[in-house]
Amino acid sequence: MITAKEIRTKAERKYLDYLRSVVAGDTFEPIVIPCDKKASGSMSDYQREMHDIRSLSKEVKGYGYTIEWKTVKTKMLGEQDLPSRVLFNLAVDFERFLRKEAEVLQFRKDCSLILGEYPSLKPWVEKYPLKVVENAGVWEDLLKVIRYFEATPQPQLYIRELPIEVHTKFIEQNMTILKELLDIVIAEDVLADETKFEKRFGLRYEEPMVRMRLIDRKFADKYFTGVDDLTFTRSQFCRLDLPLQKVFVVENKVNFLTFPRIADSIVIWGHGYAVTDLKDSAMLQSSEIYYWGDLDAQGFEILSQFRGYYPQTQSLLMDRKTFDYFNEGDKGTPSNVSVGLYLTPEETILYEYIKSNNLRLEQEKIPHKYVVNQLNSKLTSFLK
């Protein structure tokens, strides 16, 4: 026989659909929960189960479910009344049984508030009523934000300077639901390909920084009053237009700081996967590019990533001779990358060897003198 606990569990499963019917404005239809009619094995079990199911019924509590009975002839107990189904005949019975009266009352108020101003959100509310419930108490502020973006799409301000009367961290704390709502209300003004909230809705944000050194002094003197170590925001860097011949990107900070002077060139501190911040630079598109990373699986994977942005990229000091000469058997970080990489045949062979043996040669373990000698032998523009 079905238990009162099982009835509650099944009723809770119907709560979502009940909220959807509230949004749709449907007339309440009795909520029915079928019951199995299997008789208990003994009279004592039967009496205990009958007491259990009646204990939370409307007959006993004054609210909740109504039990419909059916007389069944059983082998062990003879003719007995068993529940054929339970029903919630009134919305108030269902809500009170689940202890959801206050929640549903607030839900109705919030739906009225939301849809009264933005009827276009009705499909979203019907699909995600529990999100309305989860954000009870903040809908007035959520609507303030939506109202602002509707009037001022793509405002190009930082979140904290938006003239919206909500607490300073409100938007940051509610980005997920605001994204869903704004995608609907201001769909024509959304940069749909952007996943970052600020980019998607035309806000300013703290950009990644790009640090570079002008390793030909004439660039520092001509364009930056002698300053040769510069840091830019990503967007500022991508707007730079210097008449470069070569660009060197190195992973390690010390090697960035000690990189030798080379004519018509700059060196950029790539610091690992942050090389993604260098894409979209017209200046790099038209330059010779050399990437110098650690001789480990991740170093070659970053090289491949960077070469995806700039196909002309050549590797620097990432060859088998250099690896064998300075390798001390250090272990690296295992790589699970299985896709094809943008590597030359020689790079691929070394990458597979290093990856399969989980080896690593950090670039700072390559002596500076060796670096200078290699550059001096390969580059005609090397400055003494």
45 vs 38: CA distance, rounded Å: 12
Are 121 and 107 in contact by the 8 Å Cβ rule? The answer is no
The predicted structure's pLDDT at residue 211? 96
Low-confidence ranges of the chain (pLDDT < 50): none
The predicted structure's pLDDT at residue 285? 94
The predicted structure's pLDDT at residue 224? 95
The predicted structure's pLDDT at residue 41? 67
The predicted structure's pLDDT at residue 113? 97
Bridge partners of 85? 34, 68
Cα distance from N-terminal residue to C-terminal residue, the chain: 93
Pairing mode, if any, of strands 265-269 and 66-74? Answer: unpaired
The predicted structure's pLDDT at residue 383? 62
| Helix locations, the chain, DSSP H | 4-13, 15-24, 43-55, 58-61, 91-97, 101-117, 122-127, 129-134, 139-151, 170-173, 175-185, 197-200, 217-223, 234-239, 253-258, 282-285, 297-309, 320-326, 345-357, 368-378
The predicted structure's pLDDT at residue 50? 83
The predicted structure's pLDDT at residue 35? 84
> What domains appear along the chain, each with residue ranges and CATH number?
4-98 (no CATH), 103-200 (no CATH), 209-378 (3.40.1360.10)
Each residue's pLDDT tens digit, 153-186: 999 999 999 999 999 999 999 999 999 999 999 9
| Helix locations, 34-90, DSSP H | 43-55, 58-61
Q: Residue 23's closest CA among 114, 86, 95? A: 114
For helices 345-357 and 297-309, the axis angle rounded to 10 degrees is 150
Bridge partners of 81? 71
The predicted structure's pLDDT at residue 350? 97
Each residue's pLDDT tens digit, 257-268: 999 999 999 999
